[in-house]
Amino acid sequence: MIRMALDAHRPSFSIVVPILNKEGNIESLVQSIFRQTYGPIEVMFVDDGSKDRTTELVKQFEERLNSGHFRISLVKGEVKADLEVWDSLET
Residuewise pLDDT in 10s, the chain (91 residues): 444 444 555 668 889 999 999 999 999 999 999 898 888 899 999 998 899 999 999 999 999 998 888 899 998 876 667 777 777 877 7
pTM for the model: 0.74
The span from the CA of 75 to the CA of 19, in Å, is 10
Do 60 and 27 meet the contact criterion of CB atoms below 8 Å apart?
no
pLDDT value of residue 2 = 40
pLDDT value of residue 22 = 94
pLDDT value of residue 7 = 53
